[in-house]
Amino acid sequence: MRSSKYPFNLISCPPPLRVAVGLSLNRENHIPGTRGSEGELAVYTHIHRLTLLIALAWAIAVLAADQRTGSLTITQPWSRATAPGAVIGAAYFEIVNVGSVDTLLRIESPIARQVEMHMSHTEGGIMRMRPVTSVEVPAQGRVRFQPGGLHVMLIDLTQPLKEGQRFPLTLVFQHAGSVRVEAVVQGLGATAAPSQGEAAP
């Protein structure tokens, strides 16, 4: 399906966008006095606008969720809101590798003056953290940055992290190079990315 206003193949579009554009085309083809009243057209226009907004939100969420470069895919980058006055935050994501082994060398972000990779572990019944200089991503494997385990420490934040905010993270790999993703800030106390649901603390 093509039109002069929408010069692309609707079949290849995401489902919500196909619906939105389809509504737009049908609305343009509406002939007053032949199909429905002006009141019906007003309702139709309102539904069309709502559908466009939903399609846009869906597309943004999908684009923010996964970023791929070569054999690596970075999925579900997220963070949690910080308490007032806090200067340290954390970020999480998962790296999926369908190719050969690679190494995550460092992570960069303008949201903090210092960004480090840390590993949490329990020692003598006490939770401790230690810095990690690099992380190997195994061939045909995956590495998960998550609460209570491997995670990103955002030290000396340049601004508070607020729910609904997005900020960039740049992951630098030995072979794949730099991969930029956007982390979505969840509410204070969140323990998992939205699509995973809330994990146990």
More confident residue, 153 or 30: 153
Exposed, middle or buried, 33 (CB in 10 Å: 0-12/13-18/19+)? Answer: exposed
Q: How many CA atoms lie within 13 A of 15 on its CB side?
A: 0
Q: pTM for the whole thing?
A: 0.66
8 and 2 Cβ atoms separated by less than 8 Å:
yes
Q: Over the chain, what is the mean pLDDT?
A: 77
Residue 59 has pLDDT above 50, yes or no: no
Q: What confidence tens digit (pLDDT) does each residue in 139-194 have?
A: 999 999 999 999 999 999 999 999 999 999 999 999 999 999 999 999 998 888 77
CATH 3.30.413.10 matches 70-191: no
88-97 and 142-145 as β-strands: parallel, antiparallel, unpaired?
Answer: antiparallel
For residue 49, the model assigns a pLDDT of 63
- Cα–Cα distance, 10 to 153 (Å, whole number): 42
pLDDT band at 33 (very low <50, low <70, confident <90, very high): low
Q: Which residues contact 91 (CB under 8 A, 6 or more apart)?
A: 77, 78, 79, 109, 145, 151, 152, 154, 169, 183
Q: What confidence tens digit (pLDDT) does each residue in 82-99 have?
A: 999 999 999 999 999 999
For residue 126, the model assigns a pLDDT of 87
99 and 73 Cβ atoms separated by less than 8 Å:
no
What residue spans define the domains of the chain?
A: 10-65, 70-191
